[in-house]
């Protein structure tokens, strides 16, 4: 049974569903990856995929609709997220 009190979102990489609080929410603006600030389009990455940049990078390219250099940016986002 899906608990409707917990918002469930899908990871863009493994496409599994998780509670929102276990997902890193990002957005891509002008080829910059950043933590979602509440405005515009966003996407989610689960904790497992956060540890595997190679796996998630193609999904990020797809979300951002280009292939800018997101690898380092992504790692930085994960680092920020995990230290919170």
Q: Which residues bind Zn ion (CB under 5 A)?
A: 11, 13-14, 46, 49
User: Residue 15: left if φ>0, alpha if ψ -120 to 50, beta else—which one?
Assistant: left
Question: Minimum Å distance from CB 60 to Zn ion?
Answer: 12
Residue closer to Zn ion by CB (options 11, 60) is 11
Residue closer to Zn ion by CB (options 39, 55) is 55
Question: Minimum Å distance from CB 30 to Zn ion?
Answer: 25
User: By C-alpha distance, which of 28, 10, 15 is closest to 66?
Assistant: 28
Beta bridge partners of 9: 18
């Amino acid at each position: 049974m899906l608990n409707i009190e917990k918002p469930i979102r899908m990871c863009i990489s493994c496409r599994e569903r998780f509670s929102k609080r276990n997902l890193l929410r990002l957005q891509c603006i002008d080829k910059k990856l950043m933590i979602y600030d509440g405005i515009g389009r966003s996407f989610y990455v689960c904790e497992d995929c956060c540890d595997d940049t190679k796996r998630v990078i193609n999904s990020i390219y797809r979300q951002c609709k280009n292939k800018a250099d997101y690898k380092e940016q992504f790692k930085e986002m994960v680092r920020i997220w995990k230290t919170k």
